[in-house]
Amino acid sequence: MQVDLLAGTACRSAAIPRRQPTILVFDSGLGGLTVLGATMAAHPDARMIYAADDAGFPYGRLDEPRLIDRVMAVMERLIARCGPDLVVIACNTASTLVLPALRARFAIPFVGTVPAIKPAAALTRSGLISVLATPGTVARDYTRGLIQTYAASCKVTLVGSTGLAALAEAALKGDPVDDEAILREIAPCFVEIDGARTDVVTLSCTHYPLLLERMKRLAPWPVAWIDPAPAIARRVTQLLGPAQPDIPSIPTESLALFTSGAGLTGPLRIALAGYGLAGVDIEAIPLAH
C-alpha cells in the first residue's frame, strides 16, 4: 500500500507516483530494441529512453571485471542524465554479472534479462535444450546456476556465439548478411542424441530476436525459440503498476542515446524511428583502453 501523490489517497500496488514514468532500457547495442518494443507496448504511458553503449559493443568480449566497471560507469552517467524511475538491463551479458552491483549502488528498480532456462525446461519434450548466447553469458556462474536449479534433468547445450550479435546489428542497419553466416552461428544449437533432437532454443542475447525469422527459416528442423521480451515487459508492469490511461497527456519525447554514435547511419535512424524513438542523441563515453 502506498500514497498516490496527486490524489492524496492510498492505493494498492502502484510503486511509482501517478505521473508519467520514465523507463530507461539499456543494452550494449541495438539488441535491447527487442525488449523496448514489448515494454513500450505494455507502457504507452511511459517516457522511454533507449541507451546503447555502442562504444563498448560487443560486451561478449569483455572480461568480467572490465564489464562490471564499464556498466557501472555508463549507468552513473545515464541515470544522472535521464532520472529514470526504472531501468531495464536488456542485455544478458551484463545482467548475469552486474545486477547485484547496480542494485547496491542505485535506489531505483532494475529489471534484468537472464537466460530463459526455467521456461525452456518446462517446455521441452525431448529433454534437449540449447542456450544461444554470447561467450560471456555462457561462461557465467549465474547461467550454470540456472541450469543446476531448473534444468538438471535436461541435456543443456550452451552455444557461445562470437558473431551473431554483430550480424543482427548489421541486418538492422540494412547491411547485407549472408544466410551461411547466420547458419554457422546457430548450427551448434541443433543436437541429436539417440534419436532425440533439440526442441527448444532460448534466445539468451537480446540481439538474436532481430534475426528470428531468418533463424526459423534456416534451422535444420523446427524448434521453439524463446524470446524473453514479453516476460521482461510483464516484470516491468509488476514493478511500475499497470499503464495509467488517465495520466495527464504530457508530450512524450522518447529518445535513443548512444555512447559513441559512430554507426548512426540513415537506415539505422529510420529503424529507430520505427521503434517509436523520436530523438537521437550522443552521450559520449569512450571505452578506456
The residue with cell 539505422 is 268
For residue 122, the number of C-alpha atoms closer than 13 Å in the C-beta half-sphere is: 5
Binding flag, residue 91, ligand DGL (CB under 6 A):
yes
The residue with cell 532500457 is 25
Q: Is 11 a catalytic residue?
A: no
The stretch near ligand DGL (CB under 6 A) out of 10-18, 58-66, 70-78, 226-234 is 58-66
CB of 104 to ligand DGL, least distance (A): 22
Angle at 167 between CA 59 and CA 220, to 5 degrees: 115
Binding flag, residue 109, ligand DGL (CB under 6 A):
no
| CA distances to 30, 90, 168, 268, 276 from 272, in Å | 9, 16, 14, 6, 7
Q: Which is nearer to ligand DGL, 18 or 66 (CB)?
A: 66
CB of 207 to ligand DGL, least distance (A): 5
CA distance 84 to 128: 40
Q: Is 82 a catalytic residue?
A: no
Binding flag, residue 157, ligand DGL (CB under 6 A):
no
Nearest to 233 by CA among 21, 19, 42, 103: 42
**Which residues in 36-55 contact ligand DGL (CB under 6 A)?**
none
From residue 112 to residue 151, the character string flagging contacts with ligand DGL as x (rule: CB under 6 A) and all else as - is: ----------------------x--x--------------
Binding flag, residue 158, ligand DGL (CB under 6 A):
no
Binding flag, residue 202, ligand DGL (CB under 6 A):
no
CA distance 136 to 142: 11
β-pairing verdict for 192-193 and 196-197: antiparallel
CB of 205 to ligand DGL, least distance (A): 4
CB of 74 to ligand DGL, least distance (A): 12
Q: Which of 157, 206, 254, 259 binds ligand DGL (CB under 6 A)?
A: 206
Contacts of 103 (CB under 8 A, 6+ apart): 110
The stretch near ligand DGL (CB under 6 A) out of 86-94, 243-251, 262-270, 271-279 is 86-94
Binding flag, residue 209, ligand DGL (CB under 6 A):
no
Q: Which of 93, 157, 198, 259 binds ligand DGL (CB under 6 A)?
A: 93
Do 168 and 133 contact (CB within 8 A), yes or no?
Answer: no
Continuous segment of H or E residues that includes residue 22: strand 22-27
Binding flag, residue 259, ligand DGL (CB under 6 A):
no
Count of residues interacting with ligand DGL (CB under 6 A): 17
Q: Which is nearer to ligand DGL, 196 or 227 (CB)?
A: 227
Binding flag, residue 29, ligand DGL (CB under 6 A):
yes
Q: Which of 22, 28, 202, 254 binds ligand DGL (CB under 6 A)?
A: 28
Contacts of 130 (CB under 8 A, 6+ apart): 156, 157, 158, 159, 188, 189, 190, 191, 198, 200, 201, 202
Do 150 and 121 contact (CB within 8 A), yes or no?
Answer: yes
Query: Could you list the residues that contact ligand DGL (CB under 6 A)?
Result: 27-29, 31, 57-60, 91-93, 134, 137, 165, 205-207
Instruction: Kindly list the catalytic residues.
Output: 91, 205
